[in-house]
């Protein structure tokens, strides 16, 4: 009889599949490694099992213990499978931007799930990083794998994913591309491939709102690069130890919309029902391939997970429409709007400026909404309507600092975000959005700018 003793024995040896349609016009062979063939439907199964087995070997994880991890969902699933096979309990912390399907799946696997706010600093006690660490300190006989800094994460891919790609391409691989989140799959695999063939080019896929690309290119951690984004599983607001920038030759950034639309194309045109970051990886890799791949080159792209995780989001037409992620259309981008301006000086107010001084400054420059800065960082915003309302309620506020009445900071968006997506970000509570150009200069975009772009 041929069978497996536990489900985790089926992890690995996922297939390479050739792309035939979404890569039209691009030279070379484009292969995708379809990781949803793992039992937990994602590549995270590999490193989840490795982290647990290494912890057992070191005596860190003992019988009857509890595994506690901060996850975007897929690592939790892999840990849950291993825990079931080995008799452990699981507690997971997730940011509240994660899809409902991921949460439901983890609970179905017997895990306890704690939801945490997305838009907080990593060291904020409410973040899913901090809550996981706190629970680990409070619960006896618990183990916090910490996938971001645990070397077993990268080792798992060095020992399995890299050798599988090398074997299945018969060493013909010339380019390797993957989304970068914790860094394990990108760097563990890249390390193995470069040891076999140093000239293999590695391409990391990043998202707007993440620090990786800027850090690779400048060596500086720029907090101004960090802002909320929707894509799950790639990009970070921290620098995980598993991200070895020496092993990543190039970075390509992808917008939420481009990643979402490519994900849907992979399902419709290739029969690959995959997750959001898979679409981001393919879109970014193909953008690189258009200019760099030659006829005899072979590129392999990692597709991390399965589409069932995103049924309520990118595979839901109503959700896509509500976020402006509509297919088709020829809308202008933030880049086009700011490039079309003749005068584009960004006026800001300091947080300690008085409300009276703010009124005077806004009147002098004819502006009705302004970002608030403190020591070079955007910390809030204010509009003329907010000032008027505040002064009517309490005229004595005129001498108080503007920070006393300011609203949250205007959100940042990607440079190539289209007008239809930008329109979903602007409402009565958000009067403007900010965008940085390639020279790191910040620009403001208002509803008037969007209307003007539609009339050109």
Give the residue numbers marked as catalytic. Answer: 44
Rounding to the nearest 10 degrees, give the CA dihedral for residues 322, 325, 330, 331: 60
CB 45 within 8 A of CB 68: no
Compute the distance between CA of residue 67 and CA of residue 142 in angstroms, rounded to an integer. Answer: 6
Q: How far is CA 414 from the centre of its chain?
A: 13
Instruction: Name the 3-class secondary structure at 332.
Output: coil
Compute the distance between CA of residue 13 and CA of residue 11 in angstroms, rounded to an integer. Answer: 7
Rounding to the nearest 10 degrees, give the CA dihedral for residues 161, 163, 169, 173: 80
DSSP single-letter state for residue 179: E
Say which residue the tokens 């984004």 belong to.
229
Residue 380 tokens read as: 């809030």
Compute the distance between CA of residue 334 and CA of residue 336 in angstroms, rounded to an integer. Answer: 5
CA atoms within 13 A on the CB side of 286: 21
Residue 299 tokens read as: 């590129």
Q: Which phi and psi (to 5°) does residue 391 adopt?
A: -75, -35
Burial 5-14 (b: 16+ CB within 10 A, else e): eeebeebbeb
CA distances from 348 to 137, 244, 396, 442 (A): 43, 37, 23, 11
């Amino acid at each position: 009889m041929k069978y497996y003793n536990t489900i985790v024995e089926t992890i690995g040896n996922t297939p390479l599949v050739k792309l035939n349609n979404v890569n039209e016009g691009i030279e070379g062979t484009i292969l995708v490694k379809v990781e949803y063939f793992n039992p937990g439907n994602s590549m995270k199964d590999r490193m989840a099992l490795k982290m647990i087995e290494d912890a057992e070997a070191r005596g860190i994880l003992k019988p009857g213990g509890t595994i506690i991890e901060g996850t975007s969902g897929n690592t939790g699933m892999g840990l849950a499978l291993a825990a079931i096979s080995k008799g452990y309990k699981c507690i997971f912390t997730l940011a509240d931007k994660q899809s409902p399907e991921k949460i439901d799946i983890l609970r179905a696997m017997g895990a306890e799930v704690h939801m945490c706010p997305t838009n907080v600093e990593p060291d904020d006690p409410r973040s899913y990083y901090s809550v996981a660490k706190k629970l680990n300190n409070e619960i006896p006989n618990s183990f916090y794998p910490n996938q971001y800094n645990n070397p077993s994460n990268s080792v798992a891919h060095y020992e399995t994913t890299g050798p599988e790609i090398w074997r299945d391409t018969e060493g013909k691989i010339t380019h390797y591309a993957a989304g970068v989140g914790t860094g394990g799959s990108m760097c563990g695999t890249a390390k193995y491939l470069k040891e076999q063939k140093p000239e293999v080019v590695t391409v990391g896929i990043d998202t707007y709102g993440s620090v990786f690309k800027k850090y690779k290119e400048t060596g500086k951690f720029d907090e101004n690069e960090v802002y909320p984004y929707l894509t799950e599983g790639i990009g970070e607001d921290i620098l995980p130890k598993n991200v070895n920038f020496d092993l990543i030759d190039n970075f390509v950034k992808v917008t939420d919309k481009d990643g979402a639309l490519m994900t849907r194309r992979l399902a419709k045109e290739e029969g690959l029902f995959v997750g959001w970051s898979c679409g981001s990886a393919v879109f970014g890799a193909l953008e690189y391939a258009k200019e760099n791949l030659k006829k005899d080159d072979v590129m392999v792209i990692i597709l991390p997970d399965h589409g069932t995780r995103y049924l309520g989001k990118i595979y839901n037409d109503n959700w896509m429409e509500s976020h402006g992620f509509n297919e088709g259309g020829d809308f202008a981008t933030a880049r086009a709007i700011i490039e079309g301006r003749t005068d584009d000086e960004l006026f800001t107010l300091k947080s300690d400026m008085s409300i009276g001084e703010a009124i005077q400054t806004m009147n002098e420059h004819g502006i009705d909404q302004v970002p608030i800065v403190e020591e070079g960082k955007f910390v809030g915003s204010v509009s003329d309507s907010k000032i008027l309302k505040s002064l009517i309620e309490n005229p004595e506020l005129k001498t108080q600092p503007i920070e006393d009445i300011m609203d949250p900071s205007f959100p940042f968006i990607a440079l190539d975000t289209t007008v239809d997506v930008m329109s979903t970000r602007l409402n009565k509570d958000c009067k403007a959005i900010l965008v940085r150009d390639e020279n790191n200069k910040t620009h403001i975009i208002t509803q008037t700018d969007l209307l003007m772009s539609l009339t050109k």
